[in-house]
Amino acid sequence: MPPEVVKFMYSRKSGYAALALLIILILLLLKTSISNYLAHDMLGTSIFGVFILFLLFLLGLMIVSRLAPALKGEVALELDENGFKDYIRNIILDWKDIEDIGLKPGRSSAMLIFELKFDSDFGKQVFVSLRWVDGRDQEIYKKVLDYFDAVEGIERVYDEEGQ
């Protein structure tokens, strides 16, 4: 019997952090743009205005694509008997196509690395960022690896530290 379906939700914390960062940047640029306008520096005002518009576009995109799904409680990653589904980037991998799974730690978030048995549209390795996924990176990796092992019938030998 295959393991139960495992779902990982979007991270609200990451969404709020990105939202706060973009708002702070927009406010700083807006202050600079207003200061330039009051000093009759129209070139500076225009340049900072363009950056503000670009950041407003990014803010809207981030709200629609990351924060709204987090607030709705939508699923970011899913594991089932057929494979791994990344709803953030719309990637579906079958367990039978995966050779191994690794974790690449990063400064702000880690990435799951799926080693495929063949070259796909994504290459031989598929990288899945855990930045927008709710939970600890190590715990998510362990659950994904354990699920993969259970589906494929793999038994791993761990050392004293659990690695």
CATH label of the domain that carries residue 106: 2.30.29
Of 147, 139, 13, 136, the C-alpha closest to 85 is 147
> Quick one: average pLDDT of 139-157?
86
> What is the predicted pLDDT for the residue at 101?
93
Residue 101 to residue 105: CA distance in whole angstroms: 13
96 burial (CB, 10 Å; 0-12 / 13-18 / 19+) is exposed
Q: Both 51 and 92 in a single domain?
A: no
Please say which residue of 31, 51, 72 terminates a domain: 72
Buried b (16+ CB within 10 A) or exposed e, 40-65: eeeeebeebbeebeebeeebeebeee
Residue 138 to residue 82: CA distance in whole angstroms: 23
pLDDT tens, 105-123?
988 889 999 999 888 777 8
Q: How is residue 144 written in tokens? A: 């994904």
Please say which residue of 48, 72, 96 terminates a domain: 72
> Quick one: average pLDDT of 73-94?
93
Q: Both 39 and 86 in a single domain?
A: no
Which pLDDT band holds residue 159 (cuts at 50, 70, 90)? low
Of 81, 162, 88, 163, the C-alpha closest to 126 is 88
> What is the predicted pLDDT for the residue at 2?
61
Helix H, strand E, coil C: the string for the chain is CCCCCEEEEECHHHHHHHHHHHHHHHHHHHHHHHHHHHCCCHHHHHHHHHHHHHHHHHHHHHHHHHHHHHHHCCEEEEECCCEEEECCCCEEEEHHHEEEEEEECCCCCCEEEEEEEEEECCEEEEEEECCCECCCHHHHHHHHHHHHHHHHCCCCCCCCCCC
pLDDT tens, 65-76?
999 999 999 999
The total number of structural domains in the chain stands at 2
Q: Both 94 and 45 in a single domain?
A: no
Averaged pLDDT of the chain: 90
Q: pTM for the complete prediction?
A: 0.82
> What is the predicted pLDDT for the residue at 118?
86
